[in-house]
Amino acid sequence: MLTGSQHFGLTEAIRQSLASRIGLLYLLPLSLEEVRRFDAPPRELWTTLWTGGYPRIHDRGLNAAEWLADYVAT
């Protein structure tokens, strides 16, 4: 399983080399209602927007800026 951001320059090559062996899944970030279900959801709107809607950030209480920087780098 591969996850992460997409490098558009490599997309065509990946589709050709992994033809019939991959599936692309487009997942939306968590909704506001889903974020509120975590044990310690952000209390302010701006904090919620800045933190983002990725489950791992909220589930593990991670620093959003660090996690998102690592996510984009991969």
pLDDT above 70 (res 19):
no
Least Cα distance to 72 among 54, 59, 58 occurs for: 54
Least Cα distance to 55 among 72, 37, 73 occurs for: 37
- The number of C-alpha atoms within 13 Å of 47 and in the hemisphere containing its C-beta is 10
pTM for the model stands at 0.59
Q: What is the pLDDT of residue 63?
A: 93
Asked if 6 and 71 count as a contact pair (C-beta separation under 8 A), the reply is no
